[in-house]
Amino acid sequence: MDLFMKCSIEEAEAGLREGGIPIGSVLVRNGQIISRGRNRRVQENNPILHAEIDCLINAGRIRNYSECTLYSTLMPCYLCAGAVVQFGIGKVVAGESVNFAGAREFLESHAVEVIDLDLEVCKEMMAAFIREHPDIWYEDIGET
């Protein structure tokens, strides 16, 4: 498997062990991981800490994101896709988009390259969480 997605999955699994939503993310530049993050809504009681946002916070201030690729175990939502578009991140690689379609069209309409790896491991992990904790999941994506 793609090494960067493997690291994103490790983040998601760490989140799950903490009692959180199992979504992980890494930010890559020049073939190297420069930050990692995971969804921490539950752990920190923070609605903004989606995996991709946590990862971008951990990356610190960056002057130019154009050479960066953001990996996530799940297709980014509008919040995270908005960050990608605003900061000019050039590429997004998602582990799956079956459990959540996300904002792929929005990203592509702003010239962001999007790759969906459609991985069973990501689909199964997310499907199991949604089945067991539907309230937390629908809260996380703002669906009531």
Catalytic site residues? 52
Of residues 43-62, those binding its own copies (CB under 8 A): 45-48, 53, 56-57, 59-62
Count Cβ atoms within 10 A of the Cβ of residue 37 and give its class: 0-12 exposed, 13-18 middle, 19 or more buried. Answer: buried
DSSP string, 80-118: HHHHHHHHT--EEEES--SS--TTHHHHHHTT-EEEE--
Q: Which is nearer to its own copies, 119 or 140 (CB)?
A: 140
**What dihedral do alpha carbons 97, 34, 51, 42 form, nearest 10°?**
150
Size of the residue set binding its own copies (CB under 8 A) = 35
Binding residue for its own copies, selected from 31, 32, 64, 111, defined by CB under 8 A: 64
Q: How many CB atoms lie within 10 A of CB 26?
A: 30
CA 134 to chain centre: 18
Q: Which is nearer to its own copies, 2 or 82 (CB)?
A: 82
Is residue 107 a contact point for its own copies (CB under 8 A)? no
Is residue 88 a contact point for its own copies (CB under 8 A)? yes
The binding site for its own copies (CB under 8 A) comprises 41, 45-48, 53, 56-57, 59-66, 77-83, 85-88, 103, 106, 110, 139, 141-144
